[in-house]
Structure 1
Amino acid sequence: MKNLPQKVRSRKLSSRVDLTAMVSVSFLLIIFFMVATELRKPKIMDLSLPDYDCDDCHSGCIDATRIYTILLDDNNKIVAYSGLLDYPLETPKKLVYGKNGIHKELLNKQKAILEYSTALGKPKSGAIVIIKPSKKSNFKNLVDILDEMAITKIDTYAIVNDFSQEESKLLASN
């Protein structure tokens, strides 16, 4: 009898999967989603407005001479006044955007208010600007005013969206 050839058996290779790349990708995805989640959180800022009914201004109330309000309306219209509208320090002004308009006015106000505060013994107390965009104003105008705050180095400002009836009448008349 003839020798039958033996059946050749294939050698089994160990099946091993390299997961190094998968671990790297998963860590990158985890980091990406952690950063994206952190960036999606709303950033809010506490807003402290002056107490308008204050009798004793030494108890923490803000001096009305430091307040400067800017009203934004449609067609690039700006109306600004110093102090409170019920008791304005000067008549409200109609201003335009640009270096000879709102930019110049903000620089002059900041300088005058800093001089006034320094005379009272509070050298770091600058202008407090309240920006009130109307429903008719556009987003570009608000961004332009915020740019002016950064350029003129006014640190204390707030965006407020509630208009009084007097302010609405003031915008309509200008």
Structure 2
Amino acid sequence: MKLFTFLLLPFLTVSLLLATPGQATAGAIGSPVETSSKVHCQDANNQWLTRTIDEYASPALKVELRKDLAAHEQLCKTWQQSPAFQKQKKHCKEDCKSFHHPGKKKVDEILTQVKEGKLTVPEARKQLQGMHHGMHGKVHTFQQLKAAVESKNKPAVEAALKKMDQQIKESNQRLKQKISENS
């Protein structure tokens, strides 16, 4: 569980926020349908984040965010191509097959209620977020950023962007360390 929290959750969160043009090629990540839906979601998040940075960030923060995001993208590509990542990915897939998460039953119940029409999607989302206590750092920061943008609160947007930049820098440091340890 610590492995998931420390390594995979930040990586998955940032990968949802950042999309690269190379990810749009069919079959690069998985099946064509799976890839196109993931890329579409990532592209939408990436475009939204780019517009938000352009609109709300100060010039210095804008430059810093773009530099850190570009570095993060490059570090992620390097890490994903390493043998250590492939080994970890294979190990996680094997563990997921035998892993029985204690909250899985509750998640399945919520999904069933949505399919039966007893719950709406926003209500289900709220319940799932409640189960995970608002998730971790980057997801929470992204939610804060979205809320601040929706309320057009420029100081709050700027603060959330600064927090996101700090998290990206920390993630970059962890990625650099993992890459250097496994080279």
Q: Please give the range of the TM-score, normalised by the shorter of the 2 chains.
A: under 0.3
Larger relative strand fraction: 1
What is the TM-score of this pair, normalised by structure 1? 0.22
Larger relative helix fraction: 2
- The structure showing larger relative contact order (alpha-carbon pairs under 8 Å, at least 6 residues apart) is 2
What is the TM-score of this pair, normalised by structure 2? 0.21
